[in-house]
Structure 1
């Protein structure tokens, strides 16, 4: 399988993008050393056609899982079905499972777009820009369906994990589940997950949403010789996924917590009328140590 790629490059870094694979970022690397700044994707990962094996992909028109087989819109129930073979819930919207068009491509910029009819009509655009080692991503979604609908956005980057990886990302609370299901209540962030100051990633598995996040994050990679200074816009929450004994972790800026469509007050979701737009932005600045 041959996957067409776009390539961007600034003075410090280079980036490859696979528009046909859900607008996924494939590899972001330091030009001088080939150091991977996102989880590296080899040919096998690229040829799998699966964005989950690449560096980052957009989440629209929602992030993570939705329970109960759908959700209620102002004019009635919208039924949803699972969209993967491994998860009982529809997950991460529909944008990551469709091919995007290339609207613009230059040395340091690309704009991709998607007109989707699934699970309702919307248009998404993804603007990607490299400048002096800073990767900037802006995701917009415009509602095109005649029925008003709840929207959420996110990005799903995979970062390399080393023994000395450290994370700084302050949050006010974490979402927990009472009986092992989807999160249903907020709680104080436990000490092992308290990243108000930089600390090592937990040894145990973490797969949770955190709220009350101001949008700032620092990922320190001392042994690899760099840090990433991040800032999100339109994302008051993040998801942290640290799988067991894997060389990566996910830090996902999102507009809403998991299953927000069924949480009281629908935290972080926006009800869009036809023609209205919502936006999420994320910048990641590479800094050599």
Structure 2
């Protein structure tokens, strides 16, 4: 890709895309830049990298998947995956919508909180393909009344493009049912986190969380100011939502002389930062709703606090654009 910087570090690890490919990956190419897409693993991005001139080396902009994760069909091991029809957790997998109590399939313990919707756990279909662009399609049919699962039918697309500006994803979804459907969406990217990694973003406030990583109160946490001035990712241990995001974040790897700008369009007005100390990666996610937004609304916060999410009337659609632009420090 012509806009990609040549890193000052020569420590790019060996990488063989052929070893990652299980025969079902789709490769997008623009110049030296390559994106590997895994339609069968939740419509995920498996890797995005620049092929270095030295054979067998690559400069990764997102944390690459492993062959083990591909074979296990594990979206949590991908570079990024789509979030639909809601982002992050719903407390106890239950919420009330238009007078009806909705119960979602969930596990036990911390997993009793329904997580990230379901589109990331199911295969997507390749609808169209070019050398540097791909459209993926997904449809969910509501189970028969009384059955388990998301009780609203919808269709969705991801249009993924690799060009001279970087990697972009256009998300689109439409309500196929005969009743109004609550809906939230976004993407869940993982980034490399070598020492000194810095993250900058303008946000208004951070949601404090309880022991089960669910939001309880909005506050002016020190991370808010740190993000504006440039937060050293290893200095914070966070798994939190931020409101008032200006839809842009800058990731910098100073020791490698490179940076990556994340930009999103409305309604991806919320920002999630997950960075656990000791892990070699972190997540900075553009999303359309605060964690557990449906229950926060029930708690009387709607109208007083902006928690995001939307409601799609029958036949109504929603879309948003997000993208990553590489650069040089």
TM-score of the aligned structures, taking structure 2 as reference length? 0.83
Equivalent residue number for residue 144 of structure 1: 176
Following TM superposition, the consecutive aligned residue runs of length 4 or more in structure 1 with deviations greater than 4 angstroms are 83-86, 178-181
What is the alpha-carbon distance in structure 1 between the residues aligned to residue 90 and residue 328 of structure 2? Answer: 39
- Match for residue 268 of structure 1? 308
Tell me the equivalent position of 1:132.
Answer: 164
* Equivalent runs, 1:62-211 vs 2, <5 Å: 62-74=86-98, 76-82=100-106, 87-117=111-141, 118-119=149-150, 120-177=152-209, 182-191=214-223, 194-211=226-243
Alignment of 1:221-232 (within 5 A): 221-232=253-264
Query: Which position in structure 2 is the counterpart of 1:27?
Result: 47
SS at match of 1:87: helix
More helix by share: 2
1:53 matched residue in structure 2 = 77
Does residue 254 of structure 1 match 2:274? no
Give the gaps of 5 or more residues in structure 2.
Answer: 1-20, 142-148
Instruction: After TM superposition, give the deviation of residue 66 of structure 1 in Å.
Output: 0.4
Structure number with bigger Rg: 2
Contact 1:175 1:209 in 2 (8 A): yes
User: How many positions carry a matched residue from both structures?
Assistant: 289
Report the alpha carbon displacement of residue 218 of structure 1 after superposing the two structures with TM.
0.6
Superposition deviation, residue 35 in structure 1: 0.7
Equivalent position of 1:40 in the other structure: 64
Q: Which residue matches 2:30?
A: 10
Deviations 1:5-34 (A, max 9, x none): 000011241100000110000010012351
Q: Considering only aligned residues, what root-mean-square deviation do their CA atoms show, in Å?
A: 2.0
Structure 2 equivalent of residue 240 of structure 1 = 273
Q: TM-score, normalised by structure 1?
A: 0.94
Distance in 2 between residues matched to 1:147 and 1:112, nearest whole Å: 25
Q: For the residues of structure 1 that align with 2:213 and 2:34, how far apart are their CA atoms?
A: 40
